[in-house]
Structure 1
Amino acid sequence: MVSASASLRSPAEQISRQLCADLDRRIADPMDASAILRVALTEAFDGSIALVSSFGTESALLLQMAAEIDRSVPVIFLDTGKLFPETLEYRDQLVDQLGLTDIRVITPRAVEIARQDAEGKLWRDNADRCCSLRKTQPLNAALDGFDAWITGRKRFQSLTRASVGLFETAADGKIKVNPLAHWSVDQIAAEFDARDLPHHPLEAFGFLSVGCTTCTAPVAAGEDRRAGRWRGMAKTECGIHLPEPAFA
């Protein structure tokens, strides 16, 4: 019997969900991130998949794993115009070290910044709208033409990510691949050491999750790793993994 919720899905979404289920069955070990990436990059979505990276504190591991399979994988980097200089320097360092050949730096549309955030203070008045303007909308445009994209989300990062799967259907029907979904903090740290990967320079100062300068703070001992993001706001995600809200 088909559930009521399933009957409301579009044919494209139902196909995407079936594909995700099929891909899940092909992965013998959910911890084998390299196998997940290989299936995604060379079989399921060959030529129609991108890796979206913030070049944050945990990004180097996924980027290196992908580079080991295909250094020409398109890597989409969202430059909001409010990033830390250290993040931009770290990006350049990793691109050079890993030999990545297709880095796509995506920025917000200048005309929309001038219209909606000319003074650069939208983050203070409406953080969700600021994220939509500077991240979600540019990313949606950048992903046009791709069937799938790779993310670095992990279940341990926050309660909002506690049930992240290896393969998920996004609201637009694209498939999100989360190779490190089941990895722990300790496993990622151990792999960083084993691979001799450089750390984001701000990590040494307590920034365990790094976004824009306006909405990122250090994390205290024992806090959620993303507790420094949008501190003091009723917000835990930038929005690229949530349905796009309607703004007046």
Structure 2
Amino acid sequence: MPLDEPGRLLAENSSSAGGSAATTALRDRVAALNDQMRHHGATDVLRLALRAVPNLALVSSFGAESVALLHLAAMVNRDLPVLFIDTQMLFAETLVYQQELAERLGLRRVHILRAADIADQDPAGTLHQRDPDACCALRKSAPLDAALADFDGWITGRKRFQSGTRAALEFFEVEDGTGRIKVNPLARWAPQDVQAYMTENRLPRHPLVAQGYPSIGCAPCTSPVAPGEDARAGRWRDQSKEECGIHFVNGKMVRTGADS
């Protein structure tokens, strides 16, 4: 069976959900996709993903570097579903940027996700102060998990250089616990690649980048970064936390497909 045959990559896995043979077969196919793309770039990875995974969405924070992947996606297919999580604690600048960027790139299917039970679970809006993991789970992971239930896979903007938990990131990976495929077209991009792409294509930057925010999340948990600091040093500053949790399944980081 061709690796990129539409609609077939997940079919056998879903027909015998939970079966070890089906899971092994899916992981083998994902490994083959990675091997096929070993010497290819982000655009080729994205095009192959759209052929190989029958029902795919792109998840974007519309953050500091998001415009690069969103622009690539718009060049390939402007009807690709884009999922944006409004945690209701984002910077006002992010909300404005999201609307302006989606319009500029001509993205036709942007879905804004919000948690339904914030008023019950975090009525004072202070959960992030006492339990940031629970806050991320409530405001980000839960609405995203609900939305992704309708998809066979999702595209992320993660890159190897961003943190230690992403150092071994591959283009394609199997998400443990769900059987979904995660696609990381920019996995091998370095910081200078991102900057060069945005400059060459004259893409609009998130306004907070110029104010010292090279990585942007929710307002209460994001601070400016000083010269020489790691780009993500302002995320959950002075805490051991590195990830918001949307890339975890059952409390474990999902990283590298068969090796995760």
TM-score by length of 1: 0.90
Deviation at 1:229, TM superposition (A): 0.5
User: What per-residue deviation string (whole Å, max 9, x for no partner) do you get for residues 202-229 of structure 1?
Assistant: 0001101101001001111121111111
Name 2:53's counterpart in structure 1. 45
Query: Which amino acid is 1:23 matched to?
Result: L
Name 1:3's counterpart in structure 2. none
Identity over aligned residues, as a percent? 49
Is 2:129 aligned against 1:124?
A: yes
User: What per-residue deviation string (whole Å, max 9, x for no partner) do you get for residues 124-161 of structure 1?
Assistant: 01000000000011100000121110000001111121
Deviation at 1:25, TM superposition (A): 2.2
Q: Structure 1: where are the runs of 5+ without partners?
A: 1-7
Is 2:45 aligned against 1:36?
A: yes
**In structure 1, C-alpha distance between the alignment counterparts of 2:175 and 2:226, rounded to whole Å:** 33
Q: 1:244 to 1:214 in 2, by over 3 A?
A: farther
1:195 to 201, 218, 231: 201
Deviation at 1:19, TM superposition (A): 2.1
Deviation at 1:15, TM superposition (A): 3.2
Report the 3-state secondary structure (helix = DSSP H, G, I; strand = E; otherwise coil) of the residue aligned with 1:134: helix
**In structure 2, C-alpha distance between the alignment counterparts of 1:221 and 1:36, rounded to whole Å:** 33
Name 1:177's counterpart in structure 2. 183
Report the 3-state secondary structure (helix = DSSP H, G, I; strand = E; otherwise coil) of the residue aligned with 1:37: helix
Q: Which deviates further from its counterpart, 182-191 or 216-225?
A: 216-225
Query: Which amino acid is 2:195 matched to?
Result: A
Report the 3-state secondary structure (helix = DSSP H, G, I; strand = E; otherwise coil) of the residue aligned with 1:221: coil
**In structure 2, C-alpha distance between the alignment counterparts of 1:189 and 1:68, rounded to whole Å:** 18
User: What per-residue deviation string (whole Å, max 9, x for no partner) do you get for residues 79-124 of structure 1?
Assistant: 0000001001111111111100000000001xx2122111110000
User: What per-residue deviation string (whole Å, max 9, x for no partner) do you get for residues 28-75 of structure 1?
Assistant: 424x1000000111x1014x0000000001100100111111100000
Is 2:24 aligned against 1:14?
A: yes
Corresponding residue pairs, total: 234
Deviation at 1:10, TM superposition (A): 4.0
Q: Structure 2: where are the runs of 5+ without partners?
A: 1-17, 253-260
Is 2:242 aligned against 1:236?
A: yes
Q: Does the 8 A contact of 1:158 with 1:224 survive in 2?
A: no
Is 2:40 aligned against 1:25?
A: no
Report the 3-state secondary structure (helix = DSSP H, G, I; strand = E; otherwise coil) of the residue aligned with 1:168: strand
Q: Does the 8 A contact of 1:20 with 1:169 survive in 2?
A: yes
TM-score by length of 2: 0.86
Compute the RMSD of aligned alpha carbons: 1.6
Report the 3-state secondary structure (helix = DSSP H, G, I; strand = E; otherwise coil) of the residue aligned with 1:77: strand
Name 1:60's counterpart in structure 2. 67
Q: Does the 8 A contact of 1:153 with 1:161 survive in 2?
A: yes
Deviation at 1:244, TM superposition (A): 3.5
**In structure 2, C-alpha distance between the alignment counterparts of 1:216 and 1:245, rounded to whole Å:** 22
Is 2:100 aligned against 1:93?
A: yes
Name 1:5's counterpart in structure 2. none
